[in-house]
Chain A
Amino acid sequence: MQTELLKDLQDARRNKRQVVVATYLNSGEQSLLFPFETKEKSDLLEAARTALIGDKSSQTEIEGEPVFFNIFNPELRLFIVGAVHIAQNLVPMAVAAGYEVTVIDPRRSFGSEFRFPGVTLDNRWPDEFLADADADRRTAIVTLTHDAKLDDPALQHALRSEAFYIGALGSTRTREKRHQRLTREGFTEDDFKRIHGPIGLDIGAKSPAEIAISIIAEITAVLRKKLS
């Protein structure tokens, strides 16, 4: 490997870009691929894209040559809007599943170190936070406040991002009202369909911990392409 290529790789990883090192195992020829940042099409890019989506480094034949794709996906992130009871249960589960978690709530009595010891908290309004946070293809966003003043701006930002999962707590009735508000704001049917709600897999969850389980299960299913 060329030192320059390694430096470029490290820069790309620091900038949370999805990058692949492709190595032709017979010739030793290597290149960095950014399959989500180009419109170009080739078997090489397609294989790299598949490896990134599958989150798995793997070897494939390209034009009869064995090529190894070493993938570097940025860390999974979860933004939880609403430092509510469900969030207290969801945080440790998400951390265990490998997510870098941030809890966002401008209401300081909710989003307090006392209620969320050791958790990254942000007391800005969700839209201010999301404007800075650069939610990418490896980010999940959930809104849990039940309060349109907090949830809606977050959802609007989420819908303009590439976040792989967006979920909003609330009953079917709440969801219908949210649908109307977002439509008024100019969001399309397809946009609205990106929001999972009522949030979580239907496992009959009742307690905050059970609801957290259903949410992390749904996020996992979407991440691993069992659900769209």
Chain B
Amino acid sequence: MTETSTALPEEDVLQQALNWKQDGKDVALATVVSTWGSAPRPAGSQLAIDETGNMSGSVSGGCVESAVIQEALDIMQSGESKLLEFGVSNDEAWEVGLACGGKIKVYVEKLN
């Protein structure tokens, strides 16, 4: 992280993705592109994943991350970007501290 200047937050998801890539790892990036209802994280929220399943950031505050990681690992192999859709049920929404459910679309792409 030597190159990161003070202008970026210490835990910057994109910088983490770039650092992994520069370390020679395969990296995928997941981005929330739309939300309905009380989705836990707003559009633009990002999660970076490396080939060993390390992650930085979040797209939902925990409820769909493991599914996203699975897809991300596949996408690192195939190279094909994908648009995933998740419904966050009331129960799961409750788990992440929300009173009602929501829906999110997540775009997952490989860092080439």
- The answer to whether A and B come from one shared complex is yes
Give A residues with C-beta under 8 Å from B.
1-3, 6-7, 9-10, 13-16, 23, 25, 28, 56-59, 68, 70-71, 74
Residue of A nearest to B32 (CB): A57
Q: Which of B15, B29, B81 has the most CB of A within 10 A?
A: B81
The verdict on A13 contacting B34 (CB below 8 Å), with A3-B111, A71-B44 known, is no
B42–A1 CB distance below 8 A: no
A10–B44 CB distance below 8 A: no
Residue of A nearest to B45 (CB): A57
Does chain A have a CB within 8 A of B7?
Answer: yes
B29–A10 CB distance below 8 A: no
State the interface size on chain B (CB cutoff 8 A): 23
Ordered by A's residue number, 14 sampled pairs between the chains whose C-beta atoms are within 8 Å are: A1-B110, A1-B112, A3-B18, A7-B18, A9-B14, A10-B15, A13-B7, A13-B8, A23-B33, A25-B33, A28-B81, A56-B42, A57-B44, A59-B43
A3–B8 CB distance below 8 A: no
Q: Whole-angstrom distance from the CB of A9 to the nearest CB of chain B? A: 7
Residues on A with beta carbons closer than 8 Å to the beta carbon of B15 = 10
A6–B7 CB distance below 8 A: no
Q: Whole-angstrom distance from the CB of B26 to the nearest CB of chain A? A: 12
A122 vs B21: C-alpha distance in the bound complex, in angstroms?
39
The verdict on A25 contacting B14 (CB below 8 Å), with A57-B42, A57-B44 known, is no
A57 vs B105: C-alpha distance in the bound complex, in angstroms?
13
Residues on A with beta carbons closer than 8 Å to the beta carbon of B112 = 1-3
Residue of A nearest to B43 (CB): A57
Q: In residues 52-107 of chain B, which contact A (Cβ within 8 Å)? A: 81, 83, 107
B14–A23 CB distance below 8 A: no
A25–B107 CB distance below 8 A: yes
Does chain A have a CB within 8 A of B2?
Answer: no
Q: Whole-angstrom distance from the CB of B80 to the nearest CB of chain A? A: 8
Interchain CB contact (< 8 A) of A6 among B17, B31, B43, B107: B17
The 10 closest A-B pairs by CB, nearest first: A57-B44, A14-B7, A68-B33, A28-B81, A57-B43, A59-B34, A70-B44, A14-B5, A59-B33, A2-B112
Residues on A with beta carbons closer than 8 Å to the beta carbon of B34 = 58-59, 68
Residues on A with beta carbons closer than 8 Å to the beta carbon of B50 = none
A18 vs B86: C-alpha distance in the bound complex, in angstroms?
30
A10–B14 CB distance below 8 A: yes
A29 vs B76: C-alpha distance in the bound complex, in angstroms?
17
A25 vs B5: C-alpha distance in the bound complex, in angstroms?
31
Q: Which of A1, A9, A13, A74 has the most CB of B within 10 A?
A: A1
Residue of A nearest to B33 (CB): A68
Residues on B with beta carbons closer than 8 Å to the beta carbon of A28 = 81, 109
Interchain CB contact (< 8 A) of A23 among B17, B107, B110, B111: B107
Q: Whole-angstrom distance from the CB of B32 to the nearest CB of chain A? A: 8
A23 vs B82: C-alpha distance in the bound complex, in angstroms?
12
Q: Beyond A1-B111, A6-B17, A23-B33, list 16 extra A-B contacts (CB 8 Å).
A: A1-B110, A3-B18, A3-B21, A6-B14, A6-B18, A6-B21, A14-B5, A25-B107, A28-B109, A56-B44, A58-B34, A59-B33, A59-B34, A68-B31, A68-B34, A68-B107
